[in-house]
């Protein structure tokens, strides 16, 4: 979990290890009523991002965005807030740790996840969420129509500014 994550092959390796880890966790939680039996463990879209790996894991318990920072595991107490800048905005993650993986910051998106009738729907939601995290326009309302020039603007000097902007 360090600077080498710029290499996307490593991001793939992270993904494999994560899936294995979460399958293990799920095995211990399978009898709890918080699991949706139609779902299984899958990691979506793990990628290198600013010296860290980022992606979403779907499990029968939850849909959670994970971030692997370039920091030693003991740098922060578990459960403290970590603010991470993503293209779409600032997102608060909670610092945590997973056995065999190390330091992982997580941000819960949905939990529990009984609303999913099939695994594909959960995967699709994970992909859409990932797209929303990396596409700043995904959360924006459609831009307002371009301001129309009013005759009165001529008196306020806005007309000239408009002209200048157009010619640039």
Partner 1 sequence: MAAAETFYDFIRRQGITRRSFTKFCSLTAASLGFGPGAARAMAMALETKERVAVIWMHGLECTCCSESFIRSAHPLVKDVVLSMISLDYDDTIMAAAGDQAEAILEETKEKYKGKYILAVEGNPPLNEDGMFCIDGGRPFVEKLKWMAKDAFAIIAWGACASWGCVQAAKPNPTQATPIDKVILDKPIIKVPGCPPIAEVMTGVVTFITTFGKLPELDRQGRPKMFYSQRIHDKCYRRPHYDAGQFVEEWDDEGARKGYCLYKMGCKGPTTYNACSTIRWNGGVSFPIQSGHGCIGCSEDGFWDNGFYDRLTNLHQFGIEANADKVGLTAAGIVGGAIAAHAAVTAVKRVTSKREKADA
What is the binding site for partner 1 (CB under 8 A)?
25-26, 28-29, 32-34, 61-65, 78-81, 83, 85-86, 88-92, 94-99, 104, 106-112, 114-118, 120-122, 124-129, 131-133, 138-139
Q: Please state the closest distance from residue 142 (CB atom) to partner 1, in A.
A: 14
Nearer to partner 1, 12 or 98 (CB): 98
* Nearest distance from C-beta of residue 94 to partner 1, angstroms: 5
Joined tokens for residue 151? 């005759």
Per the structure block, which two tokens stand in for 59? Answer: 């499990």
Q: Which is nearer to partner 1, 36 or 48 (CB)?
A: 36
Do the Cβ atoms of 80 and 94 come closer than 8 Å? yes
Minimum CB separation of residue 73 from partner 1 in Å reads: 13
25 Cα distance to chain centroid: 21
Residue closer to partner 1, measured from CB, 45 or 162: 45
The phi and psi torsions of 9 (rounded to 5 degrees) equal -60, -35
Q: Pull the structure tokens for residue 55.
A: 């992606």
Q: How far is the CA of 80 from the CAs of 83, 86, 92, 95, 125, in angstroms?
A: 10, 19, 10, 6, 27
């Amino acid at each position: 979990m360090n600077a080498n994550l710029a290499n996307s092959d490593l991001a793939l390796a992270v993904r494999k290890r994560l899936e294995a880890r979460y399958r293990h966790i799920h095995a211990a939680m399978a009898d709890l009523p918080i699991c949706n039996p139609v779902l299984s463990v899958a990691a979506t879209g793990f990628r290198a991002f600013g010296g860290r790996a980022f992606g979403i894991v779907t499990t029968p318990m939850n849909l959670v965005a994970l971030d692997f920072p370039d920091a030693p595991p003991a740098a922060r107490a578990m459960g403290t807030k970590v603010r991470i800048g993503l293209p779409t905005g600032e997102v608060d993650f909670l610092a945590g740790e997973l056995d065999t993986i190390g330091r992982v910051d997580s941000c819960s998106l949905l939990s529990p996840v009984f609303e999913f009738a099939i695994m594909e729907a959960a995967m699709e939601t994970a992909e859409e969420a990932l797209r929303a995290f990396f596409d700043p326009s995904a959360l924006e309302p459609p831009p307002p129509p371009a301001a129309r020039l009013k005759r009165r603007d001529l008196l306020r000097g806005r007309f000239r500014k408009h002209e200048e902007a157009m010619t640039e």
